[in-house]
Structure 1
Amino acid sequence: MRRILSLLVALSTLFALAGCATKTRSDELTTTLKAYGSTLRWGDFRSAAQFIEPSRRAAHPLSQLDLARYQQVRVSEYDDGAGPVPSGEFDVQQTVLINLINVHTQSERSVVDHQTWHYDEKTKHWWLTSGLPDITQD
């Protein structure tokens, strides 16, 4: 009986710690998504690139052409709609509607950004794995 009781105490402690970890991870996700959204709302695509997972960022750095394209638009709206949807234990997906204004023509258009975020347990950080929004889509 004593053995069962100690096992129950150990399991409840484990579940409590797991719950705390999940809450912390969720809070970190909220903070990261708000910071990323704010960075894009201000049109700071160079800073937004810092949210991209480091190995992906190193393998696919922003080109001068990419930077020039991002400088030709201003973000007029960033609508994250329903927010992130879990797609695994350490992954979430989020679909965002971004309205862009061409600084030369003042025409506005919308792009849909399908974001994938991954939580790195080692660094305790959420990283964007899908890259910056593709503003060349029609």
Structure 2
Amino acid sequence: MRTIRTGTLLLFALLLVASGCASAGKQRDALERNQTAWASAIRWNDVEAAVPLIDPARRQAHPLDALSRERYAQVQVTGYRELRAQVGATEASREIEVRVVNRHTMAERTLRLHERWRWDPVAATWWNVEGLPDFWAGE
């Protein structure tokens, strides 16, 4: 009787671990999907595609106005490369190298940007908490 009970408990524990690994895998896939969508949107200057990936609280606190849209239209991203990444259970970060050309002066700059992501279990998605990149920092 005791062997059956121990075997049942062991089986239950294994099922819990397996289900946790499956959900972690789905969460990791969601992060990769959102980071790829973000990189694509930034790389192709598609600000409208990037905005829905920003944390809703950040979007509400810093809405994208017409002037900001015009500023992003003045630059062309010519390169976007991940340098480093760290992934935790509910937070992730990446260091990115971005090359940007000012369309008016044709001058190219290379920037290092830091992205932070947070897992939202209610929405079952990852949000970019930094917002749109600041291509004008240090100018």
* In structure 1, C-alpha distance between the alignment counterparts of 2:136 and 2:34, rounded to whole Å: 25
- Cα deviation for residue 130 of structure 1 reads 1.1
* In structure 1, C-alpha distance between the alignment counterparts of 2:66 and 2:111, rounded to whole Å: 21
Q: What is the CA deviation profile of residues 56-77 of structure 1, one whole-angstrom value per residue up to 9, with x for unaligned ones?
A: 2112101333222111100000
Pair 1:136 & 2:126 matched: no
* In structure 1, C-alpha distance between the alignment counterparts of 2:104 and 2:58, rounded to whole Å: 32
**Partner letter of residue 116 of structure 1?**
R
1:21 is aligned to 23
How high is the TM-score relative to the length of structure 1?
0.92
Unaligned runs of at least 5 residues, structure 1: none
* In structure 2, C-alpha distance between the alignment counterparts of 1:94 and 1:17, rounded to whole Å: 28
1:57 is aligned to 59
2:126 is aligned to 126
**Partner letter of residue 57 of structure 1?**
R
Pair 1:40 & 2:42 matched: yes
CA RMSD of aligned residues (A): 1.3
Q: What is the CA deviation profile of residues 82-109 of structure 1, one whole-angstrom value per residue up to 9, with x for unaligned ones?
A: 4x312x4211001111110000010000
1:91 is aligned to 91
Unaligned runs of at least 5 residues, structure 2: none
User: What secondary structure, in the 3-state scheme, does the structure 1 residue paired with 2:83 have?
Assistant: coil
For the 8 Å contact 1:118–1:129, the answer to whether it is kept is: yes
Q: Which aligned segments of 4 or more residues in structure 1 are displaced greater than 3 angstroms?
A: none
* In structure 1, C-alpha distance between the alignment counterparts of 2:38 and 2:136, rounded to whole Å: 20
**Partner letter of residue 20 of structure 2?**
A
How many residues are aligned here?
136
Identity, % of aligned pairs?
32
1:115 is aligned to 115
* In structure 2, C-alpha distance between the alignment counterparts of 1:115 and 1:71, rounded to whole Å: 21
For the 8 Å contact 1:46–1:67, the answer to whether it is kept is: no
How high is the TM-score relative to the length of structure 2?
0.91
